[in-house]
């Protein structure tokens, strides 16, 4: 399948609708993060996150709400959490949500910390910083998806973190993108166009059992 086919969209696709959905997705993440507190079970946080999507009038979810606490921040999307951990006073977690507004798919994720653990704070910050660096590379250098993840891996190592290359970004568009999906951003041998691809960054601490996650639309 060529690059044009890999970026196919449906009849209602509109990049401004994608950007609206992107904004609503970040609004949901902000609202969920404000309600997550130490002492909360991971499962309760997920249930609360689903309720936030209802409050924000999302049309549906297209991928399950994921909230990971502590060591579960090392899990990929397809892996189940270990147990049902309680968020600690000094802890790390991430939120990953994919819902539909205006018939278009939103997908974003970010990491947060409780308390004042400096390494956890640095890990959460590093995921966003690396995302921003890769995003800037995309904006200024017109490079292929493959190169974006080579660049991400190199810079993660230089920053002192390990990049999880089991996740390499993916397509979105008007729902459902799955009928067009063919491969990941990190395997895409074309220059990604705006409003079609999610850039995912997942880092692991080099020696401690946690990581951080950040993703957003390349728009």
DSSP state letters, the chain: --HHHHT---TT--HHHHHHHHHHHHHHHHHHHHH--TT-BHHHHHHHHHHHHHHTT-SEEEEEEEEEEGGGGG--TTSPPSS-PBP-SSEEEEEEEEEEETTEE--EEEEEEETT-HHHHHHHHHHHHHHHHHHHHHHHH---HHHHHHHHHHHHHHHT-EE-TT---EE--BSPGGGT--S-GGG--SPPPTTSEEEEEEEE-SSSS-EEEEEEE--
Which whole number is the average pLDDT over 84-107?
A: 98
- Please say if the pLDDT value at position 1 is more than 60: no
How far out from the chain centre does Cα 116 lie?
Answer: 24
Q: For residues 18 and 198, what is the distance between their CA atoms, to the nearest angstrom?
A: 12
pLDDT for res 51: 98
Read off the pLDDT of residues 112-124 as tens digits, 9 standing for 90 and up: 999 999 999 999 9
Q: For residues 139 and 199, what is the distance between their CA atoms, to the nearest angstrom?
A: 13
- Neighbouring residues of 121: CB distance < 8 A, sequence distance ≥ 6: 113
| Tokens 């705006």 sit on residue | 194
Read off the pLDDT of residues 109-161 as tens digits, 9 standing for 90 and up: 999 999 999 999 999 999 999 999 999 999 999 999 999 999 999 999 999 99
pLDDT for res 2: 66
pLDDT for res 178: 87
Structural domains of the chain in order of their starting residue, each with its CATH number: 12-217 (3.90.230.10)
Q: For residues 97 and 140, what is the distance between their CA atoms, to the nearest angstrom?
A: 28
- Neighbouring residues of 54: CB distance < 8 A, sequence distance ≥ 6: none
Q: For residues 144 and 153, what is the distance between their CA atoms, to the nearest angstrom?
A: 15
Read off the pLDDT of residues 17-61 as tens digits, 9 standing for 90 and up: 999 999 999 999 999 999 999 999 999 999 999 999 999 999 999
| Tokens 């009849």 sit on residue | 11
Bond preceding residue 26 cis, omega within 30 of 0: no
pLDDT for res 5: 85
Single pTM value for the model: 0.96
């Amino acid at each position: 399948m060529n690059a044009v086919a890999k970026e196919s969209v449906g009849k209602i696709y509109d990049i401004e609708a994608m950007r609206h959905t992107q904004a609503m997705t970040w609004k949901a993440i902000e609202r969920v993060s404000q309600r997550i507190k130490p002492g909360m079970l991971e499962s309760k946080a997920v249930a609360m996150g689903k309720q936030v999507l209802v409050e924000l009038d999302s049309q549906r979810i297209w991928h399950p709400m994921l909230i990971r606490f502590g060591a579960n921040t090392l899990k990929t999307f397809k892996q189940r959490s270990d147990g049902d951990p309680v968020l600690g006073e000094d802890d790390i977690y991430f939120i990953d949500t994919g819902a539909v507004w205006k018939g278009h798919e939103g997908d974003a994720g970010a990491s947060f910390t409780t308390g004042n653990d400096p390494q956890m704070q640095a890990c959460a910050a590093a995921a966003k910083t690396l995302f921003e660096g890769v995003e800037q590379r995309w904006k200024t250098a017109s490079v292929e998806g493959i190169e974006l993840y080579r660049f991400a891996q190199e810079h993660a190592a230089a920053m002192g973190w390990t990049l999880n290359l089991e996740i390499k970004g993916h397509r979105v568009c008007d729902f459902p993108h799955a009928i067009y999906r063919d491969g990941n951003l990190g395997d895409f041998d074309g220059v990604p166009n705006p409003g079609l691809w999610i850039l995912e960054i997942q880092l692991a601490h080099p020696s401690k059992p946690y990581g951080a996650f950040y993703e957003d639309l390349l728009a």
